[in-house]
């Protein structure tokens, strides 16, 4: 991975420069988080997902066009066979400045060291609760200790900062907002609270579960002053704060109540080979057919341009509204 500045050819019709590609390397997962999977969630057949070579080629073309940051996600990316090797290969791409991964943490104890050695720069770990029974209730498995060991191991091998993602749901883990935020007063973790999004679920019942970031922030302000942090390159959509004297920080990502579409710099690549201009809209451009049909790099680059041209000014997803997402989260990659 070299920090050579490439010219960016990915500017959309709203003059937003796109330099960030999020790649779902698998739709499969070893957890069953209730906000992510539904009884309708089905795995794609193995032949229908991109091979690691296909992912590498698409990322390389994206980097030629101006992508400088890639996040691997899923499904659970650490469940994908060959993930460490893929990271090693991507990390050698000239022009790719940042290679990161979002994981549920269940396989980190075994894999953290190899991921670091392969060239992974940073890691986000999803953890919605510090309570074992709550963890089971949300994810369907009794693996809180395993995830915690994974977080500890990731820190031990030198991932810094460790970012922890927490999706807040009313009546489920709202009692965990404070304990998770308190972690940042003891350890240099960056805890990100995320608004629950109605993806692949019944939008009406989802509305009852929604907790706004304004409410989460208000609850944390009861603990003491939150000092705003200046935004930095790579912050993405989070509004960041620190408790006075805390080694870590908290962030708020309000995808539903605080749209950050005007600053969107992302494209997504789904596990089954579609480029998606937005997480929260069903628009997509198929690349699998072209890839497997022998298309040259220019033809594939034209598909990137088509996806870019489809980027909307703002997403229209709402609770109970007429706009619903048909695609499931595990396929798109959150």
Chain contacts with ligand SF4 (rule: CB under 6 A): 29, 31-33, 36-37, 74-76, 104, 126, 329-330
DSSP codes of every residue in 185-225 = HHS--EEEEEE---BSS-HHHHHHHB--HHHHHHHHHTTS-
Nearest-5° angle of CA 50, CA 12, CA 16?
A: 105
Q: What is the DSSP letter of 11?
A: B
Minimum CB separation of residue 76 from ligand SAM in Å reads: 4
243 interacts with, out of ligand SAM, ligand SF4, none, CB within 5 to 8 A per kind: none
Q: Which of 71, 120, 113 shows the shortest CA–CA distance to 92?
A: 120
- Number of helices (H), then strands (E), belonging to the chain: the values are 11, 12
165 interacts with, out of ligand SAM, ligand SF4, none, CB within 5 to 8 A per kind: ligand SAM
Minimum CB separation of residue 209 from ligand SAM in Å reads: 9
199 interacts with, out of ligand SAM, ligand SF4, none, CB within 5 to 8 A per kind: ligand SAM
194 interacts with, out of ligand SF4, ligand SAM, none, CB within 5 to 8 A per kind: ligand SAM
Residues in 311-330 that interact with ligand SAM by CB under 6 A:
329-330
Among 197, 226, 271, 310, binds ligand SAM (CB under 6 A): 197
Looking at beta carbons only, is 20 or 35 nearer to ligand SF4?
35
The strand pairing partners of 251, in sequence order, are 192, 240
Rounded Cα distance between 11 and 265, Å, is 9
176 is a contact residue toward ligand SAM (CB under 6 A):
no
Find out whether 140 and 30 touch, Cβ atoms under 8 Å: no
The strand pairing partners of 98, in sequence order, are 69
102 is a contact residue toward ligand SAM (CB under 6 A):
yes
Q: Please write down the HEC assignment for all residues of 116-147.
A: HHHCCCEEEEECCCCCHHHHHHHHCCCCHHHH
The encoded tokens of residue 190 equal 């960056």
37 interacts with, out of ligand SAM, ligand SF4, none, CB within 5 to 8 A per kind: ligand SF4
Q: Which residue has the tokens 């034209």?
A: 302
Among 66, 74, 273, 277, binds ligand SAM (CB under 6 A): 74
Q: Under the rule (CB under 6 A), what is the footprint of ligand SAM?
A: 29, 35-36, 73-74, 76, 102-104, 126, 165, 167, 194, 196-197, 199, 329-330, 334
């Amino acid at each position: 991975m070299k920090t050579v500045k490439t010219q960016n050819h990915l500017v959309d019709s709203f003059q937003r420069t796109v330099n960030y590609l999020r790649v779902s390397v698998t739709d499969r997962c070893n957890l069953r988080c209730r906000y992510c999977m539904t009884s309708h969630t089905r795995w794609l057949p193995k032949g229908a997902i991109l091979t690691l070579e296909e992912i590498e080629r698409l990322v390389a073309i994206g980097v030629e066009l101006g992508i400088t940051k890639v996040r691997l996600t899923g499904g659970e990316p650490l469940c994908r066979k060959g993930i460490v090797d893929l990271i090693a290969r991507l990390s050698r791409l000239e022009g790719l400045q940042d290679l990161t991964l979002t994981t549920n943490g269940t396989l980190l104890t075994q894999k953290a060291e190899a991921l670091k050695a392969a060239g992974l720069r940073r890691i986000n770990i999803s953890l919605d609760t510090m309570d074992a029974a709550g963890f089971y209730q949300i994810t369907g498995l009794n693996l809180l200790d395993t995830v915690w060991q994974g977080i500890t191991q990731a820190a031990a091998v030198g991932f810094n900062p460790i970012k922890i993602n927490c999706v807040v749901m009313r009546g489920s883990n709202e009692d965990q907002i404070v304990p998770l935020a308190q972690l940042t007063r003891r350890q240099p973790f960056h805890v990100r609270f995320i608004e629950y999004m109605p993806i692949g679920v019944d939008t009406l019942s989802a509305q009852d579960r929604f907790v706004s970031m304004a409410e989460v922030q208000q609850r944390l302000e009861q603990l003491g002053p939150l000092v705003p942090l200046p935004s930095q390159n790579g912050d993405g959509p989070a509004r960041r704060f620190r408790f006075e004297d805390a080694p870590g920080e908290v962030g708020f990502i309000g995808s539903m109540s605080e749209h950050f579409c005007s600053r969107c710099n992302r494209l997504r690549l789904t596990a089954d080979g579609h480029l998606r201009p937005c997480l929260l809209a069903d628009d997509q451009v198929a690349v699998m057919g072209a890839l497997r049909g022998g298309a040259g790099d220019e033809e594939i680059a034209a598909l990137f341009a088509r996806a870019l041209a489809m980027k909307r000014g703002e997403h229209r997803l709402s609770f109970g509204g007429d706009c619903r997402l048909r695609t499931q989260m595990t396929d798109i990659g959150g």
